[in-house]
Amino acid sequence: MGVNMLTGGMSVAHLRSPKIRYEAATTQIPVIDFGLLKQQSTVTARSAVIEDIKNACQKLGCFHVVNHGISKSVISGALEAASSFFHLPPEKKSEFESFDLKKPVRYEAALQGNNNKLRLLLKHYANPLRDWIPFWPQNPPNYRETMGAYSKEIQQVAVQLIYAILESLGLGPNYHITNLENGMQLMAVNYYPYNNTTPHKIGLHAHTDYGFITILLQTCDGLQISHNNGNTWQPVHIQPGALHVHLGDHMEVLSNGRYKGLMHRAVLGCEERISMASIHGLSMNEKVGTLKELVDEQHPKRYRESSFTDFLEFISSGNNCGGKSFIQSLRNV
């Protein structure tokens, strides 16, 4: 318990709440050693990790990544900047408030009853960084620098993980997706208040993420996952030093349904919590369809192609085909 490997025992006294800390926890989520995916890894070690990724993606749709190479100071810097932003007075945050989902930066406060906070959200694009960073908040003054450093490193980890996941689908180590490196990175920076009254009070409702994968960093427990369309939920305990990775809708499309997007939600807990979900896909207007290598007579194509713009239009139109989610609207062409 207490300050942990990720924050490297850094002093947390200067941080405003939420307390930036990680709890030791038991978890059944498979742990992937990112270092073993690197070039210098032996073929046997790499194949074993790819096999672990395959099992994790098939059975759970998620895994934890350790040895990812992102320094403790980069991680704690981003979390501190997020925390400082959410603790600004409301009038400083409201300049980013918008219902236009296409805005490069968007702030949203989900409130309930008597102005009770359920979730504060700051959403912005991050890759390529030079295109988006000029739109980001300048308050706190180090927001752009620290969040930029974190986003850049996460983007690199994400690309390597996406290729490892494709390899786990049998596509071979040299498989290439055009423009993946320049693809979309959407950072959802979330703040959930302390709640000790209602157990499992929902901060963020059940959903799947849009992209190929999401890399999630969280300051304390609160993430829950479901493998039966929300009938039952399983908590994901944070693990010191690890990043949580789950699959999104477009990985389901790409893989022709061999892997599924993971349904998840966030509940309020016994302390204030920050989570940063980095969602990775192709760029705004680029269509994602099923890979031709994964279609044959036994596995006919099961999904319509779509882009991030299509997704935004789907959720903003409110015309969601009789209660279908985005991925359901793409299934069974």
**CB of 300: closest distance to ligand AKG in angstroms?**
31
Judge contact between 311 and 250, C-beta under 8 A: no
- Contact between 169 and 258 under an 8 Å Cβ cutoff? The reply is yes
Q: Which does 6 bind (CB under 5 to 8 A by kind): Fe ion, ligand AKG, none?
A: none
- Sole binder of ligand AKG in the list 57, 81, 223, 254 (CB under 6 A): 223
| Burial environment of residue 278 by CB neighbours within 10 A (0 to 12, 13 to 18, 19 or more) | buried
Radius of gyration of the chain (CA): 19
Distance CA 74, CA 72 (A): 6
What is the smallest separation between the CB atom of 164 and ligand AKG, expressed in angstroms? 22
DSSP 212: S
- CA atoms of 249 and 283, how far apart (whole Å): 15
Alpha-carbon span 120 to 190, nearest angstrom: 6
The smaller minimum CB distance to ligand AKG, of residues 36 and 81, is found at 81
Indicate whether 204 belongs to the interface with ligand AKG (CB under 6 A): yes
195 is an interface residue for ligand AKG by CB under 6 A: no
Looking at the DSSP bridge assignments, the partners of residue 207 are: 264
Minimum gap (Å) between residue 222 Cβ and Fe ion: 12
Give the shortest CB-217-to-Fe ion separation in angstroms: 13
Position 264 contacts ligand AKG (CB under 6 A): yes
Rounded to whole angstroms, the Cα distance separating 112 from 148 reads 32
Stretch that binds Fe ion, among 111-119, 121-129, 208-216, 247-255 (CB under 5 A): 208-216
Bridge partner list, 111: 117
Q: Does 239 help bind ligand AKG (rule: CB under 6 A)? A: no
Q: Is residue 243 a contact partner of residue 33, using CB atoms and an 8 Å limit?
A: no
* Minimum distance, C-beta of residue 249 to ligand AKG, in the bound complex (Å): 12
Q: Give the torsion through C-alpha atoms of 63, 69, 72, 74, to 10 deg.
A: -100
Distance CA 295, CA 79 (A): 42
Angle at alpha carbon of residue 9, lines to 237 and 87, rounded to 5°: 75
Taking CB under 6 A as the binding criterion, the range among 108-116, 173-181, 214-222, 295-303 that sits at the site for ligand AKG is: 214-222
Nearer to ligand AKG, 190 or 255 (CB): 190
> Residue 229: helix, strand or coil by DSSP?
coil
Of residues 230, 212, 182, the one with CA closest to residue 61: 212
Minimum CB separation of residue 190 from ligand AKG in Å reads 5
The Cα 59–Cα 262 span in angstroms is 10
Stretch touching Fe ion by CB under 5 A, among 20-28, 101-109, 204-212, 230-238: 204-212
Instruction: Choose which of 52, 80, 167, 209 interacts with Fe ion (CB under 5 A).
Output: 209
By CB under 6 A, residue 209 contacts ligand AKG: yes
**83 lies in the binding site for ligand AKG (CB under 6 A):** no
- Angle, CA 198 vertex, CA 196 and CA 204 arms, to 5°: 100
**274-293 footprint of ligand AKG as x/- string (CB under 6 A):** -x-x----------------
Which part of the chain contacts Fe ion (CB under 5 A), choosing from 45-53, 201-209, 229-237, 300-308?
201-209
SS3 43: helix
Q: How far is the CB of 275 from Fe ion (least distance, A)?
A: 9
- Count, residues near ligand AKG per rule CB under 6 A: 12
The interface region with ligand AKG, picked from 12-20, 169-177, 217-225, 252-260 by CB under 6 A, is: 217-225
Question: Based on CB atoms, which residue is closest to ligand AKG, 202 or 291?
Answer: 202
Chain residues binding ligand AKG by CB under 6 A are 188, 190, 204, 209, 216, 218, 222-223, 264, 266, 275, 277
Query: Interface residues with Fe ion (CB under 5 A)?
Result: 209
